[in-house]
Chain A
Amino acid sequence: MDYKHLVEVLLFASPEPLTQARFNHIIQDENTVELAPIIDELSNEYETSGKGLIIKKIGGGFQILSHGDYHIYIERMFKNTRKLQLSRPALEALSIIAYRQPVSKAEVESIRGVECGSVVNTLMERELITVKGRGKTVGRPLLFGTTQIFLESFGLENTADLPKLKELSELMGDNPDPVLFENDHATE
Chain B
Amino acid sequence: MDYQVKVENFEGPMDLLLFFIQRDKLNIYDIPIAHITKEFLDYMKLMDMMNIDLGGEFVYMASLLMKIKAKMLLPVSDEDVEQIEDPRTPLVQRLLEYQQYKKVGEQLQEIYTDHAVHFPLGQDMAYDAGSEKKINPVQNVTLFTLSSIFQELINRLPDVNPYELHEDPIQLDEQIAFLIGEINSTKRLSFTILIPILKTRLRIVVTFMAILEMLRTNQITIEQNEPFGELILMRAAA
Residue numbers of A with Cβ under 8 A of B are 12-15, 54, 56, 63-69, 71, 74, 76-84, 86, 88-89, 91-92, 94-96, 98-99, 111-115, 152-156, 162-163, 165-166, 168, 171-172, 175, 177-183, 185-188
Of all chain A residues, the one with the shortest Cβ separation from B9 is: A88
Q: Which residues of A contact B98 (CB under 8 A)?
A: 111-113
Contact with A along B94-137 (1 / 0, CB 8 A): 10111011101111110110111111111111111110000000
Chain B, Cβ-Cβ closest to A68: B117
Total of A-B residue pairs, C-beta within 8 Å: 168
Q: Which B residues lie within 8 Å of A172 (CB)?
A: 29, 92-93, 96
- Chain B residues with Cβ below 8 Å from A56 are 118
Check if B215 is an interface residue, CB within 8 A of chain A.
no
Q: Return chain B residues, CB-CB under 8 Å to A152.
A: 120
A-B contact pairs, 28 of them (CB 8 A): A15-B123, A54-B118, A64-B120, A67-B118, A69-B117, A71-B116, A71-B119, A79-B125, A79-B126, A82-B125, A84-B116, A86-B109, A91-B105, A91-B108, A92-B101, A112-B12, A113-B13, A154-B112, A163-B104, A168-B96, A171-B93, A172-B96, A177-B86, A180-B81, A181-B72, A183-B32, A186-B33, A186-B69
Besides A71-B117, A91-B105, A187-B73, 15 new A-B residue pairs in contact (Cβ under 8 A), listed by A number? A71-B119, A74-B119, A77-B128, A79-B126, A81-B119, A84-B116, A88-B11, A92-B102, A112-B11, A113-B98, A114-B12, A156-B111, A182-B30, A185-B33, A185-B35
Q: Which of B33, B84, B98, B119 lies at the interface centre, i.e. has the most chain A CB atoms within 10 A of its CB?
A: B119
Interface centre among A56, A63, A88, A153 (most CB of B within 10 A): A88
How distant is B167 from chain A, measured CB to nearest CB, in Å? 45
Asked if residues A15 and B104 are in contact (CB atoms below 8 Å), the reply is no
Within 8 A of A (CB), among B54-101: 55, 57, 61, 69, 72-73, 76, 81, 84-86, 88-89, 92-94, 96-98, 100-101
Are the CB atoms of A63 and B120 closer together than 8 Å? Answer: yes
Distance in angstroms from A62 CB to nearest chain B CB is 11
* Complex interface: chain B residues within 8 A of A114 (CB): 11-14, 55, 57
Q: How far is the CB of B161 from chain A (nearest CB, A)?
A: 44
Shortest Cβ gap from B98 to chain A (Å): 6
A77–B73 Cα distance when bound, in Å, is: 66
Tell whether B34 is near chain A: CB-to-CB under 8 Å: yes
Do A96 and B127 contact each other (CB < 8 Å), given the known contacts A84-B112, A111-B94, A172-B92?
A: no
Q: Which residue of B lies closest to A16 (CB)?
A: B120
Judge whether B108 and A95 touch: CB under 8 Å. Answer: yes
* A17 vs B61: C-alpha distance when bound (angstroms): 45
Binding site for A on B (CB under 8 A): 11-15, 29-35, 55, 57, 61, 69, 72-73, 76, 81, 84-86, 88-89, 92-94, 96-98, 100-102, 104-109, 111-112, 114-130
Residue of B nearest to A176 (CB): B29
User: How far apart are A5's CB and chain B's nearest CB, in angstroms?
Assistant: 18
Residues in A with CB closer than 8 Å to B61 are: 113
Q: Which residue of A lies closest to B38 (CB)?
A: A188
Select which of A54, A168, A181 is within 8 A of B97 by beta carbon.
A168
CB atoms of B125 and A80 under 8 A apart: yes
Chain A residues with CB under 8 Å of B123's CB are 15
A68 to B105, CA, bound (A): 23
A155: chain B residues within 8 A (beta carbon): 111, 114-115, 118
B126 lies within 8 A of A80 (CB): yes
B72, A78: Cβ atoms closer than 8 Å:
no
User: Nearest-CB distance from A84 to chain B (Å)?
Assistant: 6
